Structures are given as C-alpha cells and as structure tokens.
Chains A and B, each alone.
Chain A
C-alpha cells in the first residue's frame, strides 16, 4: 500500500484512481490507512465476495493473495501483478503512463 502511496501523484497525473481492497472491516482499514499514511480509499470486502469473484482467495491465509490489477477506462484489465511481484508496482505505474491509457 505504501508503494502506491509513494507513486500516487504520478498515478493521479496519469488519470488513475488507486483502490486498496482487503477482507478487513472498513474500520480496521481506516485505522490501517491512518497508521501508514495512505490517502486513497481502502475498500472493505467483508465476507470476501469480491475477493472470490476475482479468483484470488487463498485458503492458506483465509484471505486474499497480494494481487494488483490495472483496469483501463474501458473496464478491461491491462496489467496484473501477483504475489511477490505485486510488492513493487513499477510495472503498473509505467503502464498508466502509456499514451493509450491516458485517453
């Protein structure tokens, strides 16, 4: 989450909204956001419906895996990062800046 916060200005300049999603309650997410200084919304998938719909529920953790999706204005997925690769969001930040995604 912090990595996206650090790149937030670049992402916003590229017309991109960042949304964090976890299976925590909205209140836990708010406290988490305040603690680590995240200013974008952390959405609460309480019950895990969306996490299951995106196919990233991990039994081992009883929670979601770490996955980043970049979704274009047409609603289609442009980039994906999974597990360890999802820690460094450079690929997604770069993709947002590609001209075709700016339109």
Chain B
C-alpha cells in the first residue's frame, strides 16, 4: 500500500517536471522583433467617421515614422 502511494507520488512528480517546460513555452511569446529589425507588416481594421476602414503598416513606408502602441485592453487607462 505504502509502496504504491510512493510510486504514484514519483509518477506525478515526473509528470509535473515534464509538463513544466511546455507551460513555460506557452506563457509568453518570446520572439519580439528587435531594434533594427524590419517591423512585420499588417493590415488592421479601425473605425473612423462612422466607417470601418483598413490600414496597412507598409502604407507609411518612405512617408512617415510610425509609433505602434500595443495596449492591454480598451478602458484600462494609460
């Protein structure tokens, strides 16, 4: 009885150890582009003057600098 319990404990410990790196990997994306990298292009929608519009990052190439401000959620301040 005692031995079975111990074996079970070891098994669950081993499982936890195996699962840990997988959890760590999915926690955050670690591949943020670095200073000097080309910013990945995108097309995103936004609402302006009562209309749904689209814009591409590459529309600004050779025209303007762009500040991209990612924020957690709307209505969070900052």
Contacts and interface: CB of A to CB of B under 8 A. Distances in A.
Interface in B33-78: 33-42, 44-48, 52, 55, 57-58, 60-75, 77-78
B69 A41 contact: no
Interface residues of B, number: 44
A80 B60 CA distance: 18
Given A21-B71, A54-B40, A59-B26, A16 B65 contact: yes
Contact of A65 (B45, B63, B70): B70
Interface of A: 1-4, 11, 14-24, 26-32, 35-36, 41-46, 49-61, 63-80, 82, 86-87, 89, 92, 96, 101
